[in-house]
Amino acid sequence: MAKRSSLITKPFYFSPIFLLTFLMIDCSSYWAHRKNDLADVFTAGVESPGYGLGVRIGPLAGGFIFQGGESAPGKRDLGTGYGLRGGSYGPYRSQQLVFGFLGGEKFHSLPNTPEPTNPSQKVETKPQGQDPNSSQGFLLLPDAPEGEEDPNPTPELANERQNTKSFEIRYLKFYNNPVEERRKAKKALFYKKFLESLDPEKKNEAIQAYLAQNPKSKDDYPLGFLFEVEIYISIKYGIRLGFNIGEFLDFLFGFTGLDLMEDDL
């Protein structure tokens, strides 16, 4: 009888262990999100090359800034920084042009692997010698228009959260974005997500080549971009400082389980 009683009560000894393990896993994810949210609030980086002085409040920029540049004609690959920006600490790409209130800006974290130095290196969308009736060639993808190819596109990083924080935007286009253009952008985003769902393991060469040549919309930006205040000052080497009120509220409300910026990935 005693033996039977011990068998009945045995699962109850293990249930606290399973509960504690579950809570530890959940808590580690919870505090990781709070740490990331706090890092999103501040911007502090050293950047080069750049010249000028300016301030940006959301998509409204003012001043005179030339930051970044080209190492070869058409190759916009200059402009780097190091510090805390976009919720990550480390090296990043930073390019910005402000003339009065016109201009644009590009930002993304730099990948761990070195970027290609040869601008002529391009991924082919149609592998040579591939049988169109084969299992790998079942999907015919349109080529990117030759005149619209970005010689230095925003890379797809291994860290999905860093991808969501990347942006490339033209300030004036933000205010003058016709309905037809918004519809095109939504269709392109839907098509991109559809292709990604067809090849979740990233093994189809045609799909991955197409996605690599069409990484992001040129006017895409994270939600937190709208609530950011930044100041930039530089004479070749400059500093960028910023505070994001939206991300600060996201950090505070995150303790209650709310994700205002939708970035708890």
Asked if pLDDT for residue 146 goes beyond 70, the answer is no
In contact, 208 and 237? CB cutoff 8 Å: no
Burial 81-98 (b: 16+ CB within 10 A, else e): bebbbbbbeeebbbbbbb
DSSP 201: T
- 125 in a domain, yes or no? no
- Mean pLDDT over 68-91 rounds to 90
Mean pLDDT of all residues in the chain?
77
Q: Higher pLDDT residue, 52 or 75?
A: 52
75 within domain boundaries: yes
Q: What whole-number percentage of the chain has pLDDT above 70?
A: 69
* pLDDT attached to residue 262: 82
Helices within the chain (DSSP H only):
2-41, 160-165, 171-175, 179-198, 205-213, 245-254
Question: Measured between alpha carbons, how far is 223 from 151 in angstroms, rounded to an integer?
Answer: 26
* 223 in any annotated domain: yes
Q: Write the pLDDT tens digit of every residue in 18-33.
A: 444 444 546 778 889 9
Q: What is the pLDDT of residues 173-214, one digit of tens each?
A: 777 766 676 677 767 777 777 888 888 888 888 888 877 776
Q: Which of 229, 247, 264, 233 is nearest to 50 (CA)?
A: 233
Predicted pLDDT of residue 26 = 61
In the structure, what pLDDT confidence band is assigned to residue 92 with cuts at 50, 70 and 90?
Answer: very high
- With beta carbons less than 8 A apart as the criterion, state whether 261 and 246 touch: yes
Residue 7 belongs to a domain = no
Axis crossing angle, helix 205-213 with helix 179-198, rounded to the nearest 10: 150
Cβ atoms of 103 and 171 closer than 8 Å = yes
Whether residue 20 is contained in a domain is answered as: no
| Average pLDDT over every residue of 255-262 | 88
pTM of structure: 0.67
- What's the number of domains the chain is made of? 1
Q: With the CA atoms of 31, 33, 35 and 40 taken in that order, what torsion angle do they form, in degrees rounded to the nearest 10?
A: -170
The answer to whether residue 117 is domain-embedded is no
pLDDT range class, residue 74, cuts 50, 70, 90: confident
Q: What is the pLDDT of residue 257?
A: 86
Q: Are 199 and 208 in contact (CB under 8 A)?
A: yes
Q: Which domain, by its residues, includes 58? A: 40-112+133-254
What does the angle CA 228 – CA 226 – CA 159 come to, to the nearest 5 degrees?
A: 80
Split at pLDDT 50, 70, 90, the class of 223 is confident
